[in-house]
Amino acid sequence: MYFIPITKKEIQDRYQIVSAFAHKGTQGHALLIAGSYGKMGAAVLASKAAIKTGCGLVTAFVPECGYDILQIAIPEVMVITDVAQRHLSNVKFQIKPQAIGIGPGIGQEQETQKALHDFLVSNIIPLVLDADALNCVSRNKEWLHLLPSKTIVTPHPKELERLIGPWESEEEQFEKTIAFSKQYNLVVVMKGAPTHIIDGETVYKNTTGNAALATAGSGDVLTGMTTSLLAQGYEAVNAAILGVYLHGLTADIAITETGTQSFIASDIISNIGRAFLTLENDTNN
Ligand SMILES: NC(=O)C1=CN([C@@H]2O[C@H](COP(=O)(O)OP(=O)(O)OC[C@H]3O[C@@H](n4cnc5c(N)ncnc54)[C@H](O)[C@@H]3O)[C@@H](O)[C@H]2O)[C@@H](O)CC1
Ligand SMILES: Nc1ncnc2c1ncn2[C@@H]1O[C@H](COP(=O)(O)OP(=O)(O)O)[C@@H](O)[C@H]1O
Ligand SMILES: [Mg+2]
């Protein structure tokens, strides 16, 4: 099987420099629907990653218990709360974001599953689906038909298995994931070491990242980054490619200071700027 390596050249072909005349209204509004009691950190990480990846506005939609946490942790991010205290029960909002990321830390309560279903039935905004949103969809596979074309799904191996069933070899894993991508018209970010991105028959292989990323919340950060790029107008496959590349690059940059063991998900967020700078330096040369 042929994989297209996600090299710096591939990235530079896709990367869009921010206009000198940009303002927050032109840079996209990302909505992160995330968090539950005890997992509000997932919402904080995803929302902070989204604003640090460059979209103009970020709103977090969280259960009521997340309100103070979000507002104190990230003053740049706006917050809308669900009527329920501890988990999502009714995802309704008046804003018009350009992209939505849903799933990190939301849990799989019955009420949350229903809220996800009702949201998917009416939503037409470009979407990133991760973590418990994927787990809920795995329990209700018919909901896959509700996803907008080119929705980005970001499963780790266990979540992928819940979605497509088990595989016996790596070859079979790719075959099944390609078939899944084609059946539902999805961009599949097959997270791992390394991560592959599958867009129908086309498979991309990331070239950045290391074992420092094997830490809680690193996937939640990737969801925020990818949603941010989607909100900024990148085509879904390019948002996935650029997001995965930059996410991995943060770990390659930071590892000389943090080492593998003490790198945490917040270090990904702290290094997003340095990762972008490697592109801008090269683009200007
Ligand atoms: N600070 C927070 O609030 C955090 C919240 N999180 C949320 O917690 C919820 C549960 O997510 P989890 O992913 O922990 O639970 P899952 O049950 O989906 O996955 C955990 C299991 O998956 C397997 N797995 C994961 N990565 C693998 C890999 N690369 N290779 C092979 N097996 C692998 C392992 O067996 C692992 O025990 C999600 O909603 C997630 O977003 C986590 O992201 C951790 C941090
Ligand atoms: N050994 C590794 N090498 C490279 N990347 C890794 C490694 N381990 C984990 N990652 C990356 O870290 C992220 C983990 O995501 P995920 O399992 O969803 O974490 P969480 O749910 O805790 O946020 C993925 O992007 C994955 O590719
Ligand atoms: Mg995850």
Q: Under a CB-based contact definition with an 8 Å cutoff, are residues 32 and 226 in contact?
A: no
The verdict on ipTM greater than 0.95 is yes
Q: Under a CB-based contact definition with an 8 Å cutoff, are residues 152 and 190 in contact?
A: no
Q: Is the pLDDT of residue 284 over 70?
A: no
List, as residue ranges, the binding site: 42, 105, 156, 191-195, 219-220
Q: Is the pLDDT of residue 285 over 80?
A: no
- In this structure, the chain runs to a length of 285
Question: Nearest CA to 144 among 101, 180, 194?
Answer: 180
The rounded distance, in Å, linking the Cα atoms of 131 and 217 is 11
pLDDT digits (tens, 9 = 90+) for 237-266: 999 999 999 999 999 999 999 999 999 999
Tell me the pTM.
0.98
Ligand 1 and 41: CB distance under 6 A: yes
pLDDT digits (tens, 9 = 90+) for 207-222: 999 999 999 999 999 9
pLDDT digits (tens, 9 = 90+) for 174-197: 999 999 999 999 999 999 999 999
List, as residue ranges, the binding site for AMP: 191-195, 219
Around Cβ 4, how many Cβ atoms within 10 Å? 13
Ligand 2 and 222: CB distance under 6 A: yes
Q: Under a CB-based contact definition with an 8 Å cutoff, are residues 155 and 190 in contact?
A: yes
Ligand 2 and 156: CB distance under 6 A: yes
Nearest CA to ligand 1 atom 22: 158
Q: What are phi and psi of 192, to 5 degrees?
A: 175, -160
Kindly state the percentage of the chain with pLDDT values over 70. Answer: 98
Ligand 2 and 193: CB distance under 6 A: yes
Q: Which of 210, 213, 223, 246 to mutate to test the pocket of ligand 2 (most atoms within 8 A of CB)?
A: 213
Q: Sign of the C-alpha dihedral, residues 186, 190, 195, 200? A: negative
pLDDT digits (tens, 9 = 90+) for 115-145: 999 999 999 999 999 999 999 999 999 999 9
Q: Under a CB-based contact definition with an 8 Å cutoff, are residues 131 and 103 in contact?
A: yes
